[in-house]
């Protein structure tokens, strides 16, 4: 088998890249190690930057998002039993779109089917090879048979645990990492959100986030110790703890109901450099992870796709290598700014076991600064809505 671009991974980055390439007439095949339903079962991101929304439009997968997604003009920082609203639109002229990763993935899958793109699900032993030569190829096993796809380029869109980054010789790649001494326990429940905008809460008992998927579906998170077990958290215990971390007015307004998803995610910052190795390109979580506090993970995957698509379009349609040659440098410049922002918002909003009184005083001073300085609030807002590509 032969194609122009093999995309490893059918998450948001692989599907978005696949749709953009197909729309431009560039042949591609997506391979994933799991099936469609498994991918759609993952509950992850919820907030999209305007750049991501625009890429979904270019991909032809934005119709349902515009009907069902919730445009938000602001969010709240809660601390000291009160709320401070960050007016994103007034400060930046931009808004964000609340639309879940599950729905976005479903829309991209539907678009791919509609345009007849090939996706191979449930492939094992996927292996990118020959990417340092003029003849790259990818092998995989399916139905007991080993198969091979020859190609011009390989896009490693296979997430943090994927094979693409691991296929690169250790001496050719540098990694930078920070782990955080806590995780997020999250639930999804069909109850109306406590507020029509997101609330990020800094509280002595730990961070809490009130988010949503729709007017009738809420997504709530609380900071928890890394060794915490989901089984220890009944819905009642979760809601009791969430109430304790919110300003009283919100705690009283919280509508509770049975959760249908409950999971714990660790928090990590990670970057691999560079993001190109010959004809292999790393994209999204395969190259970098951010803690979820600034809602940047999925949006960074989208900006990588933007830069890579520009590069591949230049190569195939304009016979120019310039944008492809700059992929790693352009993507990483934006990645590091989002890594910085996600780290700073995580540091501002969470209780650190070893933070001490000094750490707490610094947090209080920064929250006070954000509340009283338009310049500080604007800086937070412009990062939250997404820096330009």
Residues in the site for ligand DHB, rule: CB under 6 A? 45-47, 198, 209, 211, 219, 292-295
Check if the beta carbon of residue 199 is closer than 8 Å to that of residue 250: yes
Indicate if 171 belongs to the active site. no
CB closer to ligand FAD out of 301 and 335: 301
Indicate if 307 belongs to the active site. no
CB closer to ligand FAD out of 273 and 368: 273
Of the listed pieces 26-34, 51-59, 79-87, 195-203, which binds ligand FAD according to CB under 6 A?
26-34
CB of 108 to ligand FAD, least distance (A): 10
Q: Candidates 18, 46, 117, 386: give the one binding ligand FAD (CB under 6 A).
A: 46
Q: Is 271 a binder of ligand FAD (CB under 6 A)?
A: no
DSSP 277-331: ETTEEE-GGGTEE--GGGS-HHHHHHHHHHHHHHHHHHHHHS---HHHHTHHHHH
Q: Is 157 a binder of ligand FAD (CB under 6 A)?
A: yes
Q: Binding partner of residue 117 among ligand DHB, ligand FAD, none, CB under 5 to 8 Å per kind?
A: none
Indicate if 72 belongs to the active site. yes
CB of 27 to ligand FAD, least distance (A): 19
CB of 378 to ligand FAD, least distance (A): 22
Q: Would you put residue 141 in left (φ > 0), alpha (ψ -120 to 50) or beta?
A: beta
Indicate if 292 belongs to the active site. yes
Identified catalytic residue from 203, 250, 288, 296: 296
Q: Candidates 10, 202, 269, 328: give the one binding ligand FAD (CB under 6 A).
A: 10
> Measuring CA to CA, how many Å separate 85 from each of 152, 200, 255, 372, 377?
49, 10, 21, 12, 10
Closest among 2, 3, 54, 1 to 312, alpha carbons compared: 3
Tokens of 59: 């991909």
Q: What angle do CA 327, 340, 280 make, to 5 degrees?
A: 25
Q: Binding partner of residue 91 among ligand DHB, ligand FAD, none, CB under 5 to 8 Å per kind?
A: none
Of the listed pieces 49-57, 156-164, 241-249, 309-317, which binds ligand FAD according to CB under 6 A?
156-164
CA distance 205 to 224: 10
Q: Which residues bind ligand FAD (CB under 6 A)?
A: 8-14, 31-34, 39, 44-46, 101, 126, 157-159, 161-163, 265, 284-285, 292, 295-299, 301
> Among all residues, which ones are annotated catalytic?
72, 200, 292, 296, 384
């Amino acid at each position: 088998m032969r194609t122009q671009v093999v995309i490893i991974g059918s998450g948001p980055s692989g599907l978005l890249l696949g749709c953009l390439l197909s729309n431009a007439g560039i042949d591609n095949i997506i391979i994933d190690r799991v099936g469609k339903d498994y991918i759609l079962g993952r509950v992850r991101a919820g907030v999209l930057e305007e750049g991501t929304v625009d890429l979904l439009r270019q991909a032809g997968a934005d119709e349902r998002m515009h009907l069902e997604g919730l445009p938000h003009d602001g969010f709240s920082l809660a601390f000291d039993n009160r709320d401070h609203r960050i007016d994103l639109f007034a400060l930046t002229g931009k808004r964000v779109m609340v639309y879940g990763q599950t729905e976005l993935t479903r829309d991209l899958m539907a678009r791919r089917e509609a345009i007849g793109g090939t996706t191979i699900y449930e492939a094992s032993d996927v292996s990118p090879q020959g990417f340092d030569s003029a003849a790259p190829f990818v092998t995989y096993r399916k139905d007991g048979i080993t198969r091979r796809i020859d190609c011009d380029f390989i896009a490693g869109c296979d997430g943090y645990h994927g094979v693409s980054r691991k296929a690169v010789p250790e001496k050719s790649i540098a990694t930078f990492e920070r782990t955080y001494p806590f995780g997020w326990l999250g639930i999804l429940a069909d109850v109306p959100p406590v507020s029509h905008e997101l609330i990020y809460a800094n509280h002595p008992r730990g961070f809490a986030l009130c988010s949503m998927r729709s007017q009738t579906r809420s997504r709530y998170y609380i900071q928890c110790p890394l060794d915490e077990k989901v089984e220890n958290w009944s819905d009642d215990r979760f809601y009791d703890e969430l109430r304790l971390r919110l300003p009283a007015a919100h705690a009283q307004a919280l509508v509770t109901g049975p959760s249908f998803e409950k999971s714990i995610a660790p928090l990590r910052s990670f970057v691999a450099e560079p993001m190109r190795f010959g004809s292999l390109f790393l994209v999204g979580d395969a190259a970098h992870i951010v803690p979820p506090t600034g809602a940047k993970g999925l949006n960074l995957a989208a900006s990588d796709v933007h830069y890579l698509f520009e590069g591949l379009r230049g190569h195939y349609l304009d016979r120019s290598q310039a944008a492809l040659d700059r992929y790693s440098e352009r993507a990483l410049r934006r990645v590091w700014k989002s890594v910085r922002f996600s780290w700073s918002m995580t540091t501002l909003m969470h209780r650190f076991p070893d933070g001490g009184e000094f750490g707490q005083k610094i947090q209080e001073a920064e929250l006070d600064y954000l509340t009283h300085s338009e310049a500080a609030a604007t800086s937070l807002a412009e990062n939250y809505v997404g820096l330009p590509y």
